[in-house]
A and B are shown apart, each in its own frame.
Chain A
Amino acid sequence: MSEQDKPFIEVSNLTIAAGGRDIVRNVSFAAKKGEVIALIGESGSGKSTIALSLMGYARRGCRITGGEIRVGDRDVLGLSRAALRGFRGKDIAYVAQSAAAAFNPVKRIRSQIVEAATLHRSMSREEAGRRQKALMKTMALPEPDSIGERYVHQVSGGQLQRMMAAMAMINTPEVMIFDEPTTALDVTTQVEVLTAFKAMIRERGVTAIYVSHDLGVVAQVADRIIVLKDGEVMENAPAEDVLERPRSGFTRSLLDASETRRLDLSEGHDRDVVLQADGVVAGYGRIRNGLPGYPVLHDISFRIRQGQTLGLIGESGSGKSTLGRVLAGLLPAAQGRAMLNGRPLDLRDARRRSKLDRRELQIVFQMADTALNPRLSNAEILGRPLTFYHGLRGGARRQRVMELLDMVRLPAHLADLSPRELSGGQKQRINLARALAANPSVVICDEVTSALDTVVANAVVELLVELQRELGLSYLFISHDLGKIEAMCNEVMVLLKGREVERAARDRLTAAPEHAYTRQLVRAVPQLRRGWLEEVTSVPAAPTA
């Protein structure tokens, strides 16, 4: 065996326990020097736990109970506390999902990056300063010489994520762990960050472990893909094989879930308009002369017909959630009018809305974790709107709660549990059922699938479409995920910095986008094809707006 083929990272029979249960079971894999290994799986599959164990670290409540981890010639699990301190950050570095939480907001970014080097006494302060600038350049950050002087709030999310990778790289580690580094980013930003990561990995020859739930992203960076489910390896093969010739059924289901799908929708150009908005202007701060202090939305108009779905897409900060909040009455609009089922809907003062208006227009929030009161049972959560809008009590209310659970395909015995005892997908269904309890005609869905795994999210989207067919609901579907929008929306509105830049039927939007930004958005959706990233970046990026 030549020196080149010898595995650099070797994990054998790794078992990690938490709360008396094995959350990682008998996981073995190896990586050669300079190879990029992707760990992929749904939430709870143990992918992050495995990645962290490579640094000899187990999260609170977890314990590495068996197996062996070798990095280079070190036995990681046998290292002393002091040896681990020298090992982490110097020989092995970690890039977390949320860079915003990993940086100290009151210190300059440069000093935090330099500190990572001086802490290990691996180089002088001046040397570290020079390297910091060089790395900022590698990461394709603007003004690489001076951008480090900024604070966390002065850079964008994508820039911060790249700076975090620069921090991880300052000691030229042999191994880098990327833990969902682009999950919190917009797709257009994700492309830039991925390109920078890939260039850096190749340039510096580091061995990398890339943790992600997104096959499209993994397809671009990984040499080898390890598919995990419930802490066990389902498949471990070169990336091409996993993507093109998957052997395990689970991998196939993951691949299927990331395919773009188009659910059958009912067409109805001649149906009644259920919700209509004209010239909505809204934002934050005091409203003066019909303009808010910090305007977010400019002159938004749309109409949604009965049984139809309008998709609203845009990146974070584009104002799409703000529009949902304005319509729901949580944020007063500065200008604009709206009609709900032919009646004027008060956008300026929600307290003046009638109970009928409130009942017919419901909103489902993104995070089911915070949208459901943890101190109430699911039956109480669903029962309250029944009592409030329909005056149902006692047995009648109980029965209707059961019908609602059935409607969102949940078993009846969940009624008396607390939402804390449910899985993410189940919680989101309760969240949806609460809106349905009102018998609405329009439901605003604010990023309802963003916090869910692909398979679960697809099921929620299918449920939404089925309910639409059964109940004749209309949706305003807010999302940053073009795939979901394409799956279930008749018409799509693209928002950029609070303005509508394009509106089209779903087929035309992806096939022939008109506005430059829409084209960029459509192109930036990761595809399972290897080499997609290079194709995207070789085309000069269109200027945004």
Chain B
Amino acid sequence: MDSTAVPARPTRRLRLPRWPVLSLIGAVVFLFWAIIAIFGDWLAPHDPGAFIDSWNVLGPMTHQTWLGTDYLGRDVLSRIMTGAKYTVGLPFVTAGLALFFGLLLGVGATLLSEPLDTALSWLMDTVNSLPSTIFALVAVAGFGTSIPVLIIVITALYIPSAYRNVRAAALNVSRMEYIDAARVRGEGHLHVIFREILPNIVPNMLTHFGIMFIYIALLLSGLSFLGLGVQPPEADWGALISENMVGLSYGAPAIFAPALSLLSLTIAMTLMVDAVSHQNRER
């Protein structure tokens, strides 16, 4: 064959995912919160700790305080914006870490040896059977509460579910004959994992990442609500809801704004997960 006849390799087509409208809205909302989480400290109109209007606590929405003031007269919008880095960032980091370790153990277990697989699965089921909120409470009580402790505890709590998910997906893929074909060829574990298995379980992992994100966001908010999560002077949305509980009877925006923010974040993520898992199924 003449070498000039060899067609050039085309650049990979970059296709926008064809998502349903609702999921696209979810993606926009999530992107919005992600930007707030990253730049919130600089964008916030007021210092989140400053008392803007100490005479008018739990105040209404005004042109100066867009989302009203909290129980000490601080600007709620600024506090939500600076709290976003915890409520959005911590679940993102911990879900990512849990997925990473789950992947390492899950794919490793399916490929390496059966006794290891069995032992790991037992261990993971044991951890999985612990009620997560109680476990987090005990751990925080034991080690004291700080951001690193929170990250470690929550990551440890969610590794089993990530492991189970990755292992199930990897097991399905590893029964495919192209894995056999790679084995017969004499490929090593790394090639099989990274080139043959991983590309096929990425949609699965994205879905699971989204679900873990939602659960962790709710768990963290719950811990903060109980006063065991992010500690003052910093505050995440759960803490904002908790500290402004008095405002419930006044219908103050100080309590509804963080609650609705949390709701929009988790719903946005749910809608995105929906699109990814549908795409996965159609394949």
Q: Which residues of A contact B (CB under 8 A)?
A: 328-330, 350, 353, 355, 358, 362-363, 365-367, 370-376, 379, 384-385, 388-389, 395, 398-399, 402-403, 406, 412-413, 415-416, 434, 438
Residues of chain B with a CB closer than 8 A to A395's CB: 3, 6
Nearest CB to that of A355 among chain B residues? B186
New A-B pairs, 20, CB < 8 Å, besides A373-B178, A373-B196 = A328-B184, A350-B184, A358-B186, A365-B177, A365-B180, A371-B177, A371-B178, A371-B180, A374-B200, A374-B283, A376-B199, A388-B187, A389-B185, A399-B1, A399-B3, A399-B6, A402-B6, A403-B1, A412-B5, A416-B9
**Bound complex: CA A363 to CA B184 (Å):** 8
**Bound complex: CA A50 to CA B186 (Å):** 47
**Bound complex: CA A39 to CA B198 (Å):** 43
What is the interface residue range for chain B against chain A?
20 to 34
Residues of chain B with a CB closer than 8 A to A330's CB: 180, 183-184
Contact A367 B6 (CB under 8 A): no
Give the residue of B178, B185, B196 whose beta carbon is less than 8 angstroms from that of A358: B185
Query: Mind listing 9 A-B residue pairs with CB under 8 Å?
Result: A328-B184, A350-B183, A373-B176, A373-B195, A373-B200, A395-B3, A402-B1, A402-B6, A416-B10
Contact B6 A388 (CB under 8 A): no
A364 to chain B, nearest CB (A): 9
**Bound complex: CA A481 to CA B177 (Å):** 22
The answer to whether B7 has its CB under 8 Å from any CB of chain A is: yes
The answer to whether B181 has its CB under 8 Å from any CB of chain A is: yes
Residues of chain B with a CB closer than 8 A to A374's CB: 200, 283
Nearest CB to that of A365 among chain B residues? B177
**Bound complex: CA A374 to CA B200 (Å):** 8
Give the residue of B5, B9, B186 whose beta carbon is less than 8 angstroms from that of A379: B9
Residues of chain A with a CB closer than 8 A to B6's CB: 395, 398-399, 402, 412
Give the residue of A328, A372, A379, A398 whose beta carbon is less than 8 angstroms from that of B178: A372
B202 to chain A, nearest CB (A): 8
**Bound complex: CA A406 to CA B181 (Å):** 22
**Bound complex: CA A350 to CA B184 (Å):** 8
Give the residue of A366, A370, A403, A413 whose beta carbon is less than 8 angstroms from that of B7: A413
* Known contacts A353-B186, A402-B1, A412 near B7 by CB under 8 Å: yes
Nearest CB to that of A401 among chain B residues? B6
B233 to chain A, nearest CB (A): 48
**Bound complex: CA A412 to CA B8 (Å):** 11
Contact B199 A373 (CB under 8 A): yes
Nearest CB to that of B179 among chain A residues? A373
Nearest CB to that of B183 among chain A residues? A330
B157 to chain A, nearest CB (A): 31
| 0 or 1 for each of B1-30: is its CB under 8 Å from A? (1 = yes) | 101011101100000000000000000000
Residues of chain A with a CB closer than 8 A to B178's CB: 370-373
B278 to chain A, nearest CB (A): 14
Residues of chain A with a CB closer than 8 A to B184's CB: 328-330, 350, 358, 362-363
Nearest CB to that of B201 among chain A residues? A375
Nearest CB to that of B13 among chain A residues? A416
B179 to chain A, nearest CB (A): 9
CB-contacts of B10-55 with A (<8 A): 10
* Known contacts A385-B185, A398-B9, A412-B7, A375 near B180 by CB under 8 Å: no
Contact A371 B181 (CB under 8 A): yes
